Amino acid sequence: MTAPAPEPAAVPDGARPGPDGRLRCPWGTTARDYAEYHDTEWGRPVHGDDALYERLCLEGFQSGLSWLTILRKREAFRAAFAGFHIPAVAAFTEEDEQRLLADSGIVRNRAKISAALHNARVAAEWPPGELDALVWSYAPEAAGRPVPRVFADVPAITPESTALAKALKKRGFRFVGPTTVYALMQACGLVNDHLADCWCR
């Protein structure tokens, strides 16, 4: 997920204390679901083809929507998409696609659903570990990255996310623009965009 924009005038631009007094990135204090996701998942390294495929799908479904919407529908997405097990999703039929379009538990967007199924079919043709290796090969060196102090310091895209998006598209993936890919990089720990004063950093 791209770090959600703070609510105007409600959330300061820097880290702020949550109910427990710990300083967090501002978006991590706006809802209980956000706080748990911020504290336990966002920015922590994620490996595995299926796990990265899931995150890539969910980031694609989030495009144009609140990440909170996706977060609250995540278990329904997992149920609908066979746990995001790449070979299982790659075997989905037209009937499965129609089932997904009728599933009110997920985001029923035809283009996003079609892209998720298409991407599974592409990834299913790769050797095990190749998606993981490709994604992580674009992780920048942490030593050269400035530590964000305020929300405005966190980028929406980077040269690495642009390059990874291009590489995924070249390999046949769809719905993987540089903003979506950078959100994946943030969420899966390829970069650390927790603010300098955030306790998770």
- Rounded to two decimals, the pTM is 0.92
Q: How far apart are CA 76 and CA 164, in angstroms?
A: 28
**Cα Rg of the chain (Å, integer):** 17
Q: Specify whether the backbone of 22 is left (phi greater than 0), alpha (psi in -120 to 50) or beta.
A: beta
Q: Known catalytic residues?
A: 37, 59, 67
pLDDT tens, per residue, the chain with 201 residues? 666 654 444 445 899 998 899 999 999 999 999 999 999 999 999 999 999 999 999 999 999 999 999 999 999 999 999 999 999 999 999 999 999 999 999 999 999 999 999 999 999 999 999 999 999 999 999 888 999 999 899 999 999 999 999 999 999 999 999 999 999 999 999 999 999 999 999
